[in-house]
């Protein structure tokens, strides 16, 4: 029996994950070309590397098909209802920082807060006969955030492509999306609401609550990574 470790299969997140493990004496590598989605682990016995899309890792952890995984906290909270019962956060990894934010057109000079958005949404519905549209890929997180803020007259629309472009393309009036610098938002003439931070996210090492893998290997690996449970 082994411990299955799921990591992102491509891009900067994969590279940073490989570097993070290597700094702790565990070398992750690709077997063959990157398109084969196969990998290997050096420096510790009994660990199997599984390359997955970052968005797939939360559900694979929840199902116990992988025992440890690296992905963004935004994806964990979006993909898993009652995520704390399904996965355990072990350690933030210090990279992959991004904020999920709510943004509106910069031209909306009188809209700076969620209360302003709520008022505009009610006016929009009265004037146009349909609800103000917010484009996002993060339906669960945004719906919960707006519910807690008391914003009601809106409709979430799924963003399949570049979320920031939906306002310009007139398929949405506002957006909720991940940003690291805000440059893309500004380039699309959007501004973040003053209280529009939905979630701060970063790459995090997580453990499945559904499957432990080999306990001895898990203990050795976590000791090497200095990755005990996060303090409350």
Length of the chain: 232
Residue 175 in domain = yes
Residue 231 in domain = no
Q: How confident is the model at residue 230 (pLDDT cuts 50, 70, 90)?
A: very low
Mean pLDDT of all residues in 151-157: 95
Q: Both 142 and 158 in a single domain?
A: yes
Q: What is the pLDDT of residue 227?
A: 63
Radius of gyration of the chain (CA): 20
Q: What is the pLDDT of residue 229?
A: 47
Residue 232 in domain = no
Quick one: which of 83, 63, 66 has its CA closest to 74? Answer: 83
Phi, psi of 32 (to 5 degrees): 80, -150
The pLDDT tens digits of the residues spanning 206-229 come to 999 998 889 999 999 999 998 644
Q: Both 80 and 102 in a single domain?
A: no
Helix (H, G, I), strand (E, B) or coil at 56: helix
Tokens 């306002």, located at residue: 167
Q: What is the pLDDT of residue 212?
A: 81
pLDDT over threshold 60, residue 129: yes
The residue segments making up the domain with residue 175 are: 98-200
């Amino acid at each position: 029996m082994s411990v299955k470790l799921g990591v992102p299969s491509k891009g900067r997140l994969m590279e940073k994950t490989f570097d993070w493990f290597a700094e702790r004496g565990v070398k992750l590598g690709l077997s063959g070309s990157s398109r084969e989605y196969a990998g290997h682990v050096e420096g510790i016995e009994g660990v199997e590397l599984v390359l997955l899309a970052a968005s797939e890792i939360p559900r694979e952890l929840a199902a116990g098909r992988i025992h440890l995984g690296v992905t963004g906290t935004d994806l964990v909270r979006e993909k898993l209802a009652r995520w704390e019962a399904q996965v355990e956060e072990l350690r933030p990894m210090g990279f992959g920082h991004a904020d999920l934010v709510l943004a509106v057109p910069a031209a909306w000079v009188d809209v700076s807060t969620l209360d302003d958005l709520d008022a505009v949404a009610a006016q929009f519905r009265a004037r146009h006969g349909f609800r103000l549209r917010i484009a996002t890929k993060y339906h669960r997180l945004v719906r919960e955030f707006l519910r807690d803020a008391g914003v009601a007259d809106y409709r979430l629309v799924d963003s399949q492509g570049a979320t920031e472009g939906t306002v310009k393309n007139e398929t949405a009036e506002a957006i909720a999306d991940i940003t690291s610098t805000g440059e893309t938002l500004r380039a699309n003439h959007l501004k973040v609401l003053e209280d529009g931070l939905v979630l701060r996210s970063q790459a995090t090492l997580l453990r499945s609550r559904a499957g432990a893998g080999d306990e001895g290997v898990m203990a050795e690996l976590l000791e090497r990574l200095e990755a005990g449970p996060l303090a409350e």
